[in-house]
A and B are shown apart, each in its own frame.
Chain A
Amino acid sequence: MKTWSIYCLFLITFICVSCSNESIDNYASTEVSLEIPKLFSDNIIAPVIPAGNTQTMEGIILGKKLFFDPILSGNNTQACADCHAPQNAFTDTSRFSDGIDGSLSIRNSMPLFNLAWNYDEKFFWDGKSFNLEHQAFLPVTDPKEMKNTWANVEQQLQQHNEYPELFERAFGTTSIDSTLVTKAIAQFERTLISANSKFDKFLLGEIELTPEEQNGFDVFMDEARGDCFHCHGSDKNPLWTDNDFHNNGLDETFADLGLGAITGDPADNGKFRSPSLRNLAFTAPYMHDGRFATIDDVINHYSEGLKNSTTIDPLMKKIDQGGVNLSDEDKADLKAFLLSLSDFEFVNDPNFTNN
């Protein structure tokens, strides 16, 4: 009888252990697809979703919580959302964002949307990051940003009363590390899709443009006037960026080498990634160093403010005259068109706010 009891005890123990393992090995996160806007599916190739980080409901929920949680920063005061605020199309209003100890970064915070369509997966102004997960990895330890260590982040999350459970739901493990943290944040960031501007609705045949907006679009597409389309997309590429790197004539010499500091190639000095022209109404100031406070400043730069340098992009026109010298009317209309790319639904989407 005693032997029989021992066998039963072993059997029960074995079953319990098996059940416990099952809940981890066979966790059932819910795979979800990105909701691809019609204009995107009609015109451009599919977004980049890495094979090792499938989008799941649980991963996105976790990523959103992490994005808005100051627990990632060294003194628990700063979240990703502090420099990437929803109401600003996930950038901020400062020329240079300040870190947890007041240090200023050397670049303007980039807005975050439509990131899954950055086909070359080079992120930041200088392309130093090779995918979205890696992009999410860097600010945590940057001394001018969150100034933390990943060991500390992992320890804090591990000891948290909610996160281990959320990681188990998302990834099937309660063992938290930087890889899973950045995977979750990247999943959330890939859901930040902006495609509901006035101009999008015009392209879908839902509304009309004003004559000023229409002329502004013509300026944008006219090689002899704005010639913006070679770097900033069009009705055929509704990302409104080529996600490539250009020297757009800001300086004659470079205090910040941009892409050149990453590649080591002098031909890349002064080149920065083209930002999307969507949501300019919410993303001032502009350029990699936030030097332009208004859209008018930006238009004036391309019209008469270009500065020559060895690496200036050959697409820049009439540099000896400072630029293409747009008329006042064309400038005003170009601005009207650019503002029609503002997506108010995106910046007010409750799915993207901390609620």
Chain B
Amino acid sequence: MKKLLLLCLILILIPSCESDADDNAPIQTNVTLNFGHTWDDIPVTNADFNTIKFTNDNGDELSIERLRYLISKVTFTTSNNEVLNIPGYQLVDVTNNENLTFTTATRIPNGTYKNVAFTFGFNNEDNYTPNGYADLNSANFFVPAMLGGGYHYMQFDGKFINSSSIEQGFNYHAIRAVDNPGDSPTFPKDTFFEVNLGTVSISNNSIINVEMNIAEWFKTPNRWDLNELNQMLMPNSAAQIKMFENGQNVFSLKSVE
């Protein structure tokens, strides 16, 4: 009888111990990055597209007709400088109001992180994986090999009122800056960049609201004159480098829910 009681006691205690171990582990959670868009302080959605209603820093009146961009390599950096790398990438498609949120495929511990970051576009390693990306190919987001290959970082198309007061198209397409288009292109400067959102506290299923201020693409440090730079910018490495420079101020952390 004593042996039986002892066995019962052990059976009760073992699961209890396991439970204690779980209780001590940090709670893991999925985190969502939600991409919102503004023109300076005014929210922008695809409902605002196709109408000349924005004015850039240079005074050019313009419309947005197509806007989609790539983000990748989301990271969370702990106070101990441990970097948690989140796999995956996202083609944020503002035109069709699709994929505006990116939820981490892996869960991360709750807590405060000294920095949350992502890459605008692909870094060079990710840009040239041997098999490419079937979903991005299907979305026609590739860059021709003669223009350096890989993928667009952003396709931003619209129209502006040119100096002759006529509506004219612009294609603000960000890619890896390339010179000597053709069989042997060269690359003067990397033009993907890391966006650092700063300190973020994560709790269960947090939503990190990231904001793209579209107006910034035309603003700092390069005041963009659409009469000078409007189309065929992919083979224009100087224009690509300006996009890279202006892009540094485009994204910001708006809030965490």
Query: Across the interface, do A222 and B169 meet the contact criterion of CB distance under 8 Å?
Result: no
**Is B135 interfacial (CB-CB < 8 Å)?**
yes
* Residue contact A314 to B170, C-beta cutoff 8 Å: yes
B49 adjacent to chain A (CB < 8 Å): yes
- Say yes or no: B144 contacts A229, CB within 8 Å: yes
B169: which A residues are within 8 A, CB to CB?
312-317, 319
**Contact indicator B166/A45 (Cβ below 8 Å):** no
Given contacts A227-B232, A231-B140, 4 further A-B contacts (CB under 8 A): A230-B140, A237-B137, A237-B142, A314-B170
Whether the pair A45, B65 counts as a contact (CB closer than 8 A) is: no
Q: How many residues of B contact A (CB 8 A)?
A: 33
B146 touches A218 (CB 8 A): yes
Q: Which residues in B have their C-beta under 8 angstroms from that of A329?
A: none
Q: When chains A and B are docked, how far (Å) is the Cα of A301 from the Cα of B104?
A: 47
Write out the residue numbers on chain B whose beta carbons fall within 8 Å of the beta carbon of A318. Answer: 231
Contacting B231 at CB < 8 Å: which of A222, A233, A236, A317? A317
In the complex, chain A residues whose CB is within 8 Å of the CB of B168: 319-320
For the complex, give the distance between the alpha carbons of A242 and B142 in Å: 12
A-B contact pairs, 6 of them (CB 8 A): A237-B138, A311-B50, A314-B157, A314-B158, A315-B157, A320-B166
For B234, what are the chain A residues with a Cβ–Cβ distance below 8 Å?
Answer: 223
Closest Cβ–Cβ distance, residue B95 to chain A (whole Å): 10
Contact: B140 with A43, CB < 8 Å? no
Where chain B touches its partner, the secondary structure class is: mixed
Residues of A within 8 A of B159 (CB): 314
Which A residues touch B140, using CB under 8 A?
Answer: 229-231, 233-234, 237, 242
Determine the distance from Cα of A319 to Cα of B168 in the docked complex, in whole angstroms. Answer: 8
Given the interface contacts A314-B170, A319-B168, does A234 sit within 8 Å of B138 by beta carbon?
no
Residue of A nearest to B147 (CB): A223
Kindly state the separation between the CA atoms of A237 and B133 in the bound complex, as whole angstroms: 11
B87 sits at the interface (CB 8 A): no
A223-B232, A224-B235, A315-B169 known; A119 and B158 CB under 8 Å? no
Q: Are B137 and A236 in contact (CB under 8 A)?
A: yes
Cβ–Cβ < 8 Å partners of A229 in chain B: 140, 142, 144
Closest to B49 in A: A267
User: Is there contact, CB below 8 Å, between A314 and B138?
Assistant: no
| Chain B residues near A45 (CB-CB < 8 A) | 134-135, 138
Q: A302 CB to closest chain B CB, in angstroms? A: 14
The answer to whether the Cβ of B129 comes within 8 Å of any Cβ in the partner chain is: no
Determine if A221 and B65 form an interchain contact, defined as CB atoms under 8 angstroms apart: no
CA distance A258 to B14 in the complex (A): 70
Instruction: Convert A201-226 into 0s and 1s, putting 1 for each residue whose CB lies closer than 8 angstroms to a CB of B.
Output: 00000000000000000100111100
Taking the complex as formed, is B132 at the interface, i.e. its CB lies under 8 A from any CB of chain A? yes
Interface string of A221-265 (1 = CB under 8 A from B): 111100101110111110000100000000000000000000000
- A42 interface residue per 8 A CB criterion: yes
Bound Cα distance A97, B69 (Å): 41
Contact among B49, B137, B144, B147 with A43 in the assembled complex (CB-CB below 8 Å): B137
Determine whether the beta carbon of A223 is less than 8 Å from that of B235. yes
Give per-residue flags for B118-138: 1 if the beta carbon is below 8 A from chain A beta carbons, else 0: 000000000000011011011
B171 touches A267 (CB 8 A): no
Interface check B181, CB cutoff 8 A: yes
Residue of chain B at shortest CB distance from A231: B140
B66 at the binding interface (Cβ < 8 Å): yes
